[in-house]
Amino acid sequence: MYPLPQHFHLEQEQLQAAGVREWASLARLQDGALRQLARQGASEQRLTRLRGQARLMEALALDAGDAALLLHAGIATATALAECSPERLQVQLTRLERALRPGALARIDRDTVRGWILRARKASSRSPN
C-alpha cells in the first residue's frame, strides 16, 4: 500500500498507527473508523477517497494508479464502471491522463478499458450486453 503520495502523509501516518498497512484492510474500514482517524488529524475526505481507491482495487484487481485514475474520472464503484461505455470512458481517461501528466503518452487503451468494464459487470452481476 505504501508509500502514498506526499500530500497524503497525515492519512498515511494515521493509517499506519491504526495498523492499516494493506489496501484490503483499508477497503474494509467502515465510516466510523474513518471518522475516528480523521479526529486524530487525517482528512476524512482523503481517507474516504483512499478507501474508494482500495475498494476499486479489491473488486476489480486494479493497481493503485488505475484505481486512482478512475476515481479522478468520477468512477467510484464497480457498479458505476459497469455502466460505462468503453469508447467514452477511454476518451475521458485519455484526456484526464494528458491533463494530469502533460507530455506523457496515454497508457490506457480501449482493450484495457473494456477489460475493466467486463470485470466490473461480472463483479456487479450486470449483463455484458
Q: Is the pLDDT of residue 126 over 60?
A: no
For 5-13, what is the mean pLDDT?
A: 92
Residue 124, amino acid: S
pLDDT above 90 as % of the chain: 80
Calculate ∠ Cα 76-77-82, nearest 5°. Answer: 120
pLDDT of residue 48 exceeding 60, the answer is: yes
Residue 128 has pLDDT above 70, yes or no: no
Question: Grid coordinates standing for 29?
Answer: 474500514
The answer to whether residues 73 and 92 touch, using CB atoms and an 8 Å cutoff, is yes
For cell 477517497, name the residue.
49
- Indicate whether 127 pLDDT > 60: no
Q: How is residue 103 annotated by DSSP? A: T
Instruction: Give dist(CA 1, CA 22) in Å, integer.
Output: 5
Q: For the segment 63-106, what is each residue's pLDDT rounded down to a tens digit?
A: 999 999 999 999 999 999 999 999 999 999 999 988 888 877 77
Q: Residue 104, by phi and psi: left (phi above 0), alpha (psi -120 to 50) or beta?
A: beta
pLDDT of residue 129: 52
Q: What is the pTM of this model?
A: 0.88
- Give me the helices (H) in 9-109, please: 9-17, 23-27, 31-39, 44-60, 64-72, 78-82, 86-100
Question: CA-CA distance, 68 to 63, in Å (whole number)?
Answer: 9
Report the pLDDT averaged over residues 105-113: 87
Q: Round the average pLDDT of the chain to a whole number and report it.
A: 91
